[in-house]
Amino acid sequence: METLLLWLVVAVALGFDYVNGFHDAANSIATIVSTRVLSPRWAVVWAATFNFVAFLVFGTHVADTIAKDVVLQDVLSIGVIFSGLVGAISLNLITFFLGLPTSSSHALVGGMAGAAVAKAGTHVLVVEGIRKIAVFIVLSPLLGLALAFVVFTVVMWVFHRSKKVDRLNRGFRRLQLVSAAAYSIGHGANDAQKTMGIILALLIAAGHLPKGADVPLWVVLAAHTAIAAGTLSGGWRIVKTMGSKITRLQPVGGFAAESAAAATLFFVSASGIPVSTTHTITGSIIGVGTAHRVSAVRWGVAGRVVWAWVLTIPIAAAIAAATYAVVAAF
C-alpha cells in the first residue's frame, strides 16, 4: 500500500513539474513571441527542447537544496510531501487562471514548509536554507534587472550610429533564438531540479534511498521530460502579461532581457539556489524598460505581480497545511 502511495505521489510531483512547464512556458517564449521571432507553436517547441537539454549542463545542487535545506528530513513523509504538492499545484492553477506570473518555486517551498509545520511545528524549518531562498527571492530579479539594463545599454551604445535599423533588427531576431534557448536551459535547470528535489526527499522518506543520497538518473530524466512536456502544452494567458503588458519589447530588448535572465539562472543553478524563473525574467524585462525610460514600464502591472509574489508562500503554505490536516485524519 505504501509503495503504491509513494508512486502516486511521485506521479503528482511529475504532474507539478508538468504544470510548472505549462505555467512558465510563457516566460521562456514571451519575448520571442511578442517580438515575432517565432510563431507561438514553434516557440514552445524551441523552449521545450532546451528545457530538456538542461540536464546535460547543470548538476543537481538545486535538487539537494530543496530535499535537504527547506525542512528537516526527519519530518518528511509521503503525506507531508503530497500536501506540499497540493498547496503548490492549487496556487499555480489559481494564478494561471488569473493570468498572474507568480512563482511555482516559491509555491513549492511554501507548500513544503506549510505541510511540515502542520505536522510537527515551526522547529522543523531549516532557517538557514529558507533564509538563503528568501534572500534570493529579492536578489534574483534585481540581478536580472541590472544585467538586462547594462546589456541593453551597451548594445544600444555600440550600435547607436548604425543607420541600417532593419538589418540590425534582423540580426537581433536571430540572436534572440540563442538567448531564448539559453533562458530555456536555465529554466529547465532550475525548475526541473525542484521536482527532482521533491522526489529525492520522497524516496529518502520512504526508505528507498539512504539519507544524503544523490538524485538517481531516472528521476533527472523524468523531471526534465515532464517540464518539457508542460512547456510543449504552453500557456498563453501569461504570455500576454510578460510579453507586452509590462513593457513593449523590440528584438534587441528581448535579446537583452533573455540573456540577462539566462546568465542569472546559470549562476543561481550552479550555486544550488532555487529561484523563481518568473521573477528573474520579469526583472530583466523591467531592466530593458527602464533603459528606455521609467515611464516605459507599466508599473501597475509590475506592482500586481509583486503582490502575487508576496502572497505566494503564505497562501501555498496555508493550502498545504489544510491539506495535511485532512491527510492526517485518514
- Compare residues 42 and 299 and give the one whose CB is closer to other proteins: 299
Taking the complex as a whole, the smallest distance from the CB of residue 113 to other proteins amounts, in Å, to 18
Taking the complex as a whole, the smallest distance from the CB of residue 24 to other proteins amounts, in Å, to 23
> Do 60 and 268 contact (CB within 8 A), yes or no?
no
Rule CB under 8 A: say whether 293 interacts with other proteins: yes
Among 49, 73, 94, 132, interactor with other proteins by CB under 8 A? 132
Rule CB under 8 A: say whether 120 interacts with other proteins: no
Q: Which three cell numbers, joined as nine digits, stand for 30?
A: 514571451
Rule CB under 8 A: say whether 131 interacts with other proteins: yes
- Compare residues 111 and 289 and give the one whose CB is closer to other proteins: 289
> Do 245 and 298 contact (CB within 8 A), yes or no?
yes
Residues 250, 152: Cα–Cα separation, whole Å: 11
- Compare residues 8 and 138 and give the one whose CB is closer to other proteins: 138
Judged by phi (left if over 0) then psi (alpha if -120 to 50, else beta), residue 62 lies in: alpha
- Compare residues 116 and 137 and give the one whose CB is closer to other proteins: 137
At which residue does the C-alpha cell 536578489 appear?
139
Rule CB under 8 A: say whether 149 interacts with other proteins: yes
248: helix, strand or coil:
coil
Residues 94, 50: Cα–Cα separation, whole Å: 27
Rule CB under 8 A: say whether 213 interacts with other proteins: no
**What letter represents residue 69's amino acid?**
D
Rule CB under 8 A: say whether 325 interacts with other proteins: no
Interaction mask 58-87, other proteins, x per CB under 8 A: ------------------------------
Count CB-CB contacts under 10 A for residue 135: 11
Taking the complex as a whole, the smallest distance from the CB of residue 278 to other proteins amounts, in Å, to 19
Residues 115, 270: Cα–Cα separation, whole Å: 28
Q: Which three cell numbers, joined as nine digits, stand for 96?
A: 494561471
Rule CB under 8 A: say whether 294 interacts with other proteins: yes
Among 142, 168, 221, 270, interactor with other proteins by CB under 8 A? 142
Q: Which stretch binds other proteins (CB under 8 A): 14-22, 128-136, 205-213, 241-249?
A: 128-136
Rule CB under 8 A: say whether 302 interacts with other proteins: no
Residues 126, 141: Cα–Cα separation, whole Å: 24
Rule CB under 8 A: say whether 310 interacts with other proteins: no
- Compare residues 153 and 244 and give the one whose CB is closer to other proteins: 153
Q: Which stretch binds other proteins (CB under 8 A): 146-154, 173-181, 188-196, 225-233?
A: 146-154
Nearest CA among 278, 284, 327 for reference residue 305: 278
Rule CB under 8 A: say whether 270 interacts with other proteins: no
- Compare residues 101 and 287 and give the one whose CB is closer to other proteins: 287
What sections of 39-164 are H helices per DSSP? 40-53, 61-68, 78-98, 104-120, 127-159
> Do 229 and 238 contact (CB within 8 A), yes or no?
no
Residues 58, 269: Cα–Cα separation, whole Å: 7
Q: Which residues bind other proteins (CB under 8 A)?
A: 128, 131-132, 134-136, 138-139, 142-143, 145-146, 149-150, 271, 273, 290, 293-295
